[in-house]
Amino acid sequence: MSVPHVPEIRLHLAHEAIALWQRTEEELAEMGLPPPFWAFAWAGGQALARYVLDHPETVAGRRVLDFASGSGLVGLAAAKAGAASVLCADLDEFALEAIAINAEANGVSVTVTGENQLGEAGEWDVILAGDICYEQALAARVIDWLAAEQSRGVTVLIGDPGRAYLPKDRLVSLATYEVQTMGALEDNEIKRTSVWRLA
């Protein structure tokens, strides 16, 4: 289906949000499956993908890391906007499969990895990170790493709908969108969502 805020991109997404989430959490927990974050187009990712498509100069001709890629939405947007290469990174093996089939559905090429990129100083020029500030300890670690990457010349952009642990005092807003989401997973069906860079 087309992504609400980024209709240029089509993803394989869950229609029944709560049913899929409960099945993963309850029935398959003993198998160690993580929640299916990859099955939804989260607000932060939608805003970041929209920004990249509207500002292709952000990624055009550059090496891009889509960190905690999920469905691959942001990485696919970067590929469509002319990135020289896109590395979509996620720890969830199901996300890696989802990214591959979503890339094929959109006729773009991305590289997929399940290796943890957090803390790495990789060969990328741009890091795109959508919806990463939903857990306090993780958010702090990711933001510190992103700041270190920015200090070595990497462009860092974050998409976020106002998650609890977003350190706004360390960020500058670049754009704000009203993004349609699944009301079953969020507190609203429309989330005011911003794209940020580190100050």
SS3 126: strand
2-3/111-113 β-pairing: unpaired
Q: How many CA atoms within 13 Å lie on the side-chain side of 23?
A: 8
Strand locations in 77-125 (E):
85-89, 111-113
Whether the Cβ atoms of residue 75 and residue 38 lie closer than 8 Å to each other: no
Q: What does the pLDDT average to over 164-175?
A: 94
Model-level pTM? 0.89
For residue 199, name the pLDDT band (cuts at 50, 70, 90). confident
